[in-house]
Structure 1
Amino acid sequence: MRILLYYLCGVFAAAQLGKLAALSPPIARELQLGLAAMAALTSLLEVCGATLGGIAGRWLPRVGLRSSLSAAALALALGAAAAAFAQDLVTLALARLVESLGYLAIVVAAPVLIARESEGRRQAAAMALWSTFVPVGMAVGAWAYAQAAGAVGWRSAQALSVAGGLLLWVSLRAVSEDEAATAPTPRPSSGGPGATGALLWALVAAFGAYAIAEVGLLALLPSLLTQGGMPLGTAGGWTAAAALANVPASAIGAWLLKRRGALSPAIAVGMAVSLGLSGLLFLAALRDGGQASLQALLAIGVNAASGVFPSLVFALLPLAARTPERLALASGRLTQFGASGALLGPPLMGAVVEHWGWSAAGGLALALSALAIPLALFAWRRLAQSSEEKPEACTIGPHCARSAASRRV
Structure 2
Amino acid sequence: MSDTVKTDTLTVLTIWVAGLCAAAQFAKISVSYQHLGEIYPDAGASLGLAVSLISFLGVLLGAVAGVLVAGMGYRKVLVIGLTIGALMSLVQSTLPAFPVFLTSRLLEGISHLAIVVAAPTLIANVSAPRHHPAVMTLWSCFFGVAYALFGWGGVPLVEAYGPGRLYLLHGLACIAMAAILMLVLPKGTVARSALPKLGEMLRRHIAIYRSPFTSSAALGWLFYTPTFVALLTLLPSLAGEGRGGFLVIWMPLVSIAASLTVGVFMLQRLQAHLVLMIGFAGAAVAVALVWITGSAVGPFFGLAVFWGLIQGAGFAMVPQLNDGAGQQSLANGALAQMGNLGNLCGTPIFALILAGGGAEAVYYGLISIFAIAIVLQVVLAKLRAR
Q: CA RMSD in A?
A: 2.6
- Separation (CA, whole Å) in 1 of partners of 2:69 and 2:274: 34
Are 2:279 and 1:278 aligned? no
What pairs up with 1:6-405 in 2 under 5 angstroms?
6-175=15-184, 177-178=186-187, 180-183=188-191, 197-226=211-240, 232-251=241-260, 252-258=262-268, 260=269, 262=271, 267-286=272-291, 290-292=293-295, 294=296, 296-383=297-384, 385=385
Which stretch of structure 1 is more off in the superposition, 374-383 or 310-319?
374-383
TM-score (norm 1): 0.81
Amino acid at match of 1:276: A
Give CA-to-partner distance per residue, 1:307-349, whole Å, 9 cap, x none: 2123112111123233321211110101111111122222333
Amino acid at match of 2:239: L
Give CA-to-partner distance per residue, 1:141-164, whole Å, 9 cap, x none: 343333333444433333212220
- Separation (CA, whole Å) in 2 of partners of 1:28 and 1:359: 25
Q: Report the count of equivalent residues.
A: 365
- Separation (CA, whole Å) in 2 of partners of 1:319 and 1:102: 27
Amino acid at match of 1:305: F
Aligned pair in 2 of structure 1 residues 181, 114: CA closer, same or farther (>3 Å)?
closer
Q: Give the match's secondary structure for 2:32.
A: helix
Amino acid at match of 2:218: V
Question: Can you give the 5+ residue segments of structure 1 that lack an aligned partner in the other structure?
Answer: 187-191, 227-231, 387-409
TM-score (norm 2): 0.85
- Separation (CA, whole Å) in 1 of partners of 2:85 and 2:370: 33
Rg comparison, structure with higher value: 1
Please report how far the alpha carbon of residue 10 of structure 1 lies from its aligned counterpart in structure 2 after TM superposition. 0.9
Give CA-to-partner distance per residue, 1:175-200, whole Å, 9 cap, x none: 2521x2432799xxxxx968981343
Aligned pair in 2 of structure 1 residues 141, 13: CA closer, same or farther (>3 Å)?
farther
Q: Is the 8 A contact 1:243 1:300 kept in 2?
A: no
Which stretch of structure 1 is more off in the superposition, 62-71 or 351-360?
351-360
Aligned pair in 2 of structure 1 residues 327, 373: CA closer, same or farther (>3 Å)?
same
Give CA-to-partner distance per residue, 1:363-398, whole Å, 9 cap, x none: 222222111113223444555x47xxxxxxxxxxxx
Q: Is the 8 A contact 2:83 2:175 kept in 1?
A: yes
Q: Is the 8 A contact 1:51 1:336 kept in 2?
A: yes
Q: Is the 8 A contact 1:83 1:95 kept in 2?
A: yes
- Separation (CA, whole Å) in 2 of partners of 1:308 and 1:17: 21
Give CA-to-partner distance per residue, 1:22-44, whole Å, 9 cap, x none: 33444443454445343211222
Q: Is the 8 A contact 1:21 1:142 kept in 2?
A: no
- Separation (CA, whole Å) in 2 of partners of 1:354 and 1:153: 27
Amino acid at match of 1:208: L
- Separation (CA, whole Å) in 1 of partners of 2:313 and 2:381: 10
- Separation (CA, whole Å) in 2 of partners of 1:338 and 1:144: 26
Question: Can you give the 5+ residue segments of structure 2 that lack an aligned partner in the other structure?
Answer: 1-9, 195-203
Q: Is the 8 A contact 2:140 2:315 kept in 1?
A: yes
Aligned pair in 2 of structure 1 residues 156, 199: CA closer, same or farther (>3 Å)?
closer
- Separation (CA, whole Å) in 1 of partners of 2:225 and 2:33: 23
- Separation (CA, whole Å) in 1 of partners of 2:81 and 2:358: 40
Please report how far the alpha carbon of residue 116 of structure 1 lies from its aligned counterpart in structure 2 after TM superposition. 0.5
Amino acid at match of 1:183: A
Q: Is the 8 A contact 2:82 2:175 kept in 1?
A: yes
Q: Is the 8 A contact 1:22 1:143 kept in 2?
A: no
Q: Give the match's secondary structure for 1:4.
A: helix
- Separation (CA, whole Å) in 1 of partners of 2:107 and 2:349: 26
Please report how far the alpha carbon of residue 66 of structure 1 lies from its aligned counterpart in structure 2 after TM superposition. 0.9
Please report how far the alpha carbon of residue 111 of structure 1 lies from its aligned counterpart in structure 2 after TM superposition. 0.5
Q: Give the match's secondary structure for 2:186.
A: coil
Q: Give the match's secondary structure for 2:68.
A: helix
- Separation (CA, whole Å) in 1 of partners of 2:54 and 2:98: 15
Please report how far the alpha carbon of residue 110 of structure 1 lies from its aligned counterpart in structure 2 after TM superposition. 0.5
